[in-house]
Amino acid sequence: MKPAILKFLLSVILGLSAIIPLYAGNAVSGGSTPEAILPQVAKWIPANGGSLILDPSCSYRLQVKDAASDEAKAFQAYLEACPLALCPADRKPAVINIRIEDKLLKDDREGAYRMTIGRKDVSIRANGYAGAFYAVQSLLQLRASDEEGRIACGRIEDAPRYAHRGLMFDVVRHFRSKAFVLKQLDLMAQLKMNRLHLHLTDNEGWRIALDCAPEMTREGAFGDSWYFHHIMSGKPLRFAQEPADYVSGTVYDDGQTYGGYYSKDDLREIIAYAAARHIEIIPEIELPGHNMALLAVHPEFYCTGEHGVNNVFCIGQEEAFAFFEKVLDEVMALFPSRYMHIGGDEANKSNWKACPLCKERIGKEGLKDELELQSYCIRRIEKFINAHGKKLIGWEEILEGGLSENATVMSWRGTESGVESIRMHHDVIMTPSTCYYLDFAQDAPYKEPIAFNAYLPLEVVYGYEPEEDIIAACGADFDPAILKHLLGVQGNLWAECILEDSHYEYMLYPRAFAIAETGWSPKGSKDYPAFRQKALALARRLTRQGYRCFDLAAEAGHRPEAALPVTHLAVGAKASWRSGNKPAETPALLTDGWLGDYAIRRNPRWKDFGRQEITVDIDLGESKDLHYIGAEFVDYNVRRFCIPEDTEFSVSEDGVHFIPVAIPQVRLHPERQHYTIRTVGGPVNVRARYVRLHFNSGKRKVRGFISEVIIN
């Protein structure tokens, strides 16, 4: 190429690159753009500049075929009451034209919409009301993102990635008022989330008043104290009678009696409020486990014969099935959801093993064991649910002993069972505790309120990509068609440690924003820094609206000591440990030079030694002068993850004859709550090649997690 031509081309390129950012800058300065919307929209095509100011003088024109339908009326009512405060077009010039028609768009995903923002008007088109509703949510966020309510002109093409974008509220461990639930539904709608799973029964209470079982709320919805105190004291929960002045849907707490429940009218109100926001309420009635409240009111449903106190009902008893069938009948009639969640998790099978009636059932039904007995229970209940035209959802344990054909699985212990179910062509909702359990502390645990689990920061929640594990597990056999069984994602917030509503909100937000974005935005569109900026802005607005969000701007983040390797004499040294009669293991993490981060379980930096005594042997390779011996442990009393009660250190030159070295024992206050990482160790002054550390979890049989052994 001739230099003159090259020079000319270069000047054109440079000229264009000078114009393009300038033009883009104009578009941005002309009002907010969809980059501000959370969850991220699928596609944004900016116009050639210009903006529209959305202010209270704007009005709307709704073009629908079924103006007299309940859905049309509900949408109209929402528009008139929503913060856009629009008025119908006959009173003011119309600027927002909303057209809803079947098959208006090629995109047939429920919730898809197209929105064109012009200088004078907005045109919204959707196949159904959900799409139009989400377009309005996008418009509200756009308006809120600019102080003057200016929105840049352009076109949005948007649709959800997954059909299920959910949250689960545990209203049992600590009851949440009706007003609280309604408030969260408003925010879920902003986030384009469309499923709220209500965990209504569990060990600690029965939170739904039913005509067929009024005794369950009269005698099983109130306790003598907050559940949290029972965790800390280890004392069994005592149920109390419903207080005479109790008002349903509210939290009752007079300092002695604590609890509450929803009446059917409360739930009807919640269901209708949710439906107007395109949110389906999925009820959960737990069985066969997590049923201490039921068994407190109906002890006859315990297994017969010798049995311990546990939380399962007797699968051998027809009366117990009759109870659940009448309960499910009434619950399914109340909730329009296509689903009925029956729990199914963590059923302790020891009572079934010892019970003559359960054994009889196993024999009569030709079952192999208690796992198949559980499976018999789930299949039998599923048939009942299907006969009512509904689908069963259960926690992943419903896979044990064989999964019912039409059941939908919630994968919670990790993603493995979800992946396995999808490969077996069952529908799955991904809700892995490793990424989506919002009862984990969201920042350095020492600065956070007490949490039931260790550490799950926003970035980890945001980073979860639901299809990754499925594709990896299928390997070369991966067929994209299988992904139709991945219905979507859901965050779960268990409430063991969450007494106050504001604390519950604090645990939800902004992590629920991340789940909403994963559920809605297209695959491959994730951008954590951009998401974080949006989350900060949204949390600021929500705080002004009266929500309590975690202060993301003040996030401390991962444990700094765990960010870089440490040096000490034992790094790289051979380490082995023994526990009881088990063969010795050689966990490299004890001497790999890395300290544990705040996350504990399923974190390869921490070794779980259960409730055992363990002996760790370190071979330093040669005799050395030693001045310090110690090891890092988790101390998290709420979960009984504690430092060992007794510690003995000894040293040896030949690996056979050990002499003890004195180390001060750490004594902790038994009621301490906060999660900390502690080093158990101290100064020594010896020369040795071998170091032995013996830990005993003590009388309390607490569970131990150890990371690095440090020798200097």
- Residue 282 CB, shortest distance to ligand ACM, in Å, is 14
> Beta-carbon neighbour count of residue 57 at 10 Å?
12
- Residue 626 CB, shortest distance to Zn ion, in Å, is 58
Residue 485 CA to residue 380 CA, distance in Å, equals 23
Which of the choices Zn ion, ligand ACM, none does residue 531 contact, using the CB cut-off of 5 to 8 A by kind?
Answer: none
Query: Which residue, 138 or 417, has its beta carbon nearer to ligand ACM?
Result: 417
Q: Find the catalytic residue in 290, 298, 341, 485.
A: 290
- Residue 501 CB, shortest distance to ligand ACM, in Å, is 21
Among residues 325, 345, 561, 613, the one that binds ligand ACM under rule CB under 6 A: 345
Helix (H) / strand (E) containing 247: none
Using an 8 Å Cβ cutoff, are 276 and 333 in contact?
Answer: no
Cis ω on the peptide bond leading into residue 510 (within 30° of 0)? Answer: yes
3-class secondary structure, 646: strand
Query: Which residue, 504 or 649, has its beta carbon nearer to ligand ACM?
Result: 504
Query: Which residue, 101 or 345, has its beta carbon nearer to ligand ACM?
Result: 345
Which of the choices Zn ion, ligand ACM, none does residue 345 contact, using the CB cut-off of 5 to 8 A by kind?
Answer: ligand ACM
DSSP 179-225: HHHHHHHHHHHHTT--EEEEE-EETTEE-B--TT-THHHHHHSEESS
Using an 8 Å Cβ cutoff, are 605 and 562 in contact?
Answer: yes
Checking 375-382 for CB contacts under 8 A at 24+ apart, the result is 375/400, 375/401, 375/402, 375/403, 376/315, 376/401, 377/287, 377/288, 377/315, 378/342, 378/344, 378/404, 378/407, 379/404, 380/321, 381/287, 381/321, 381/324, 381/328, 381/342, 382/342, 382/406, 382/407
Catalytic status, residue 427: no
Residue 516 CA to residue 35 CA, distance in Å, equals 15
Which of the choices ligand ACM, Zn ion, none does residue 316 contact, using the CB cut-off of 5 to 8 A by kind?
Answer: Zn ion
> What one-character DSSP code corresponds to residue 41?
P
Residue 494 CA to residue 503 CA, distance in Å, equals 12
Q: In Å, how far from its chain's centre is CA 277?
A: 21
Q: Find the catalytic residue in 146, 170, 202, 496.
A: 202
Question: Is residue 377 close enough to count as binding Zn ion by CB under 5 A?
Answer: no
- Residue 208 CB, shortest distance to ligand ACM, in Å, is 19
Residue whose C-alpha is closest to residue 512's, from 538, 545, 482: 538
- Residue 358 CB, shortest distance to Zn ion, in Å, is 3
Tokens describing residue 637: 């009393």
Which of the choices ligand ACM, Zn ion, none does residue 188 contact, using the CB cut-off of 5 to 8 A by kind?
Answer: none
- Residue 515 CB, shortest distance to Zn ion, in Å, is 39
Residue whose C-alpha is closest to residue 677's, from 649, 706, 703, 701: 706
Among residues 267, 358, 403, 542, the one that binds Zn ion under rule CB under 5 A: 358
Which of the choices Zn ion, ligand ACM, none does residue 314 contact, using the CB cut-off of 5 to 8 A by kind?
Answer: Zn ion
Catalytic status, residue 290: yes
> What one-character DSSP code corresponds to residue 151?
E
Q: Find the catalytic residue in 108, 265, 346, 369.
A: 346
- Residue 340 CB, shortest distance to Zn ion, in Å, is 24
Question: Is residue 346 close enough to count as binding ligand ACM by CB under 6 A?
Answer: yes
Query: Which residue, 265 or 346, has its beta carbon nearer to ligand ACM?
Result: 346
Contact track, Zn ion, 165-204, x by CB under 5 A: ----------------------------------------
> 3-class secondary structure for 79-148?
HHHCCCCCEECCCCCEEEEEEECCCCCCCCCCCCEEEEECCCCEEEEECCHHHHHHHHHHHHHHHHCCCC
Residue whose pair of structure tokens reads 């003011």 in the numeric block: 92
Query: Which residue, 159 or 487, has its beta carbon nearer to ligand ACM?
Result: 487
Q: Site for Zn ion (CB under 5 A): how many residues? A: 6
Residue whose pair of structure tokens reads 């104009």 in the numeric block: 26
Query: Which residue, 202 or 592, has its beta carbon nearer to ligand ACM?
Result: 202
Residue whose C-alpha is closest to residue 221's, from 248, 255, 197: 248
- Residue 281 CB, shortest distance to ligand ACM, in Å, is 18
Catalytic status, residue 199: no
Query: Which residue, 412 or 675, has its beta carbon nearer to ligand ACM?
Result: 412
- Residue 360 CB, shortest distance to Zn ion, in Å, is 9
Which of the choices ligand ACM, Zn ion, none does residue 346 contact, using the CB cut-off of 5 to 8 A by kind?
Answer: ligand ACM
Query: Which residue, 180 or 395, has its beta carbon nearer to ligand ACM?
Result: 395
Contact track, Zn ion, 286-315, x by CB under 5 A: -----------------x----------x-
Question: Is residue 395 close enough to count as binding ligand ACM by CB under 6 A?
Answer: yes
Instruction: Name, in order, each residue with C-beta under 8 angstroms of 318's C-beta and a sequence gap of 6 or more.
Output: none
- Residue 468 CB, shortest distance to ligand ACM, in Å, is 22
Which of the choices ligand ACM, Zn ion, none does residue 358 contact, using the CB cut-off of 5 to 8 A by kind?
Answer: Zn ion
Among residues 152, 270, 355, 573, the one that binds Zn ion under rule CB under 5 A: 355
Q: What is the footprint of ligand ACM within residues 399-428 (CB under 6 A)?
A: 412
Query: Which residue, 346 or 646, has its beta carbon nearer to ligand ACM?
Result: 346
- Residue 199 CB, shortest distance to ligand ACM, in Å, is 9
Residue whose C-alpha is closest to residue 66's, from 147, 128, 14: 128
Dihedral sign computed on CA atoms, order 521, 136, 429, 437: positive
Which of the choices Zn ion, ligand ACM, none does residue 395 contact, using the CB cut-off of 5 to 8 A by kind?
Answer: ligand ACM
Number of H helices, E strands in the chain: 19, 28
Query: Which residue, 202 or 617, has its beta carbon nearer to ligand ACM?
Result: 202
Q: Site for ligand ACM (CB under 6 A): how many residues? A: 4
> Beta-carbon neighbour count of residue 670 at 10 Å?
9
Chain contacts with ligand ACM (rule: CB under 6 A): 345-346, 395, 412
Positions in the binding site for Zn ion (CB under 5 A): 303, 314, 316, 355, 357-358
Q: Looking at the annotation, which residues are catalytic? A: 202, 290, 346
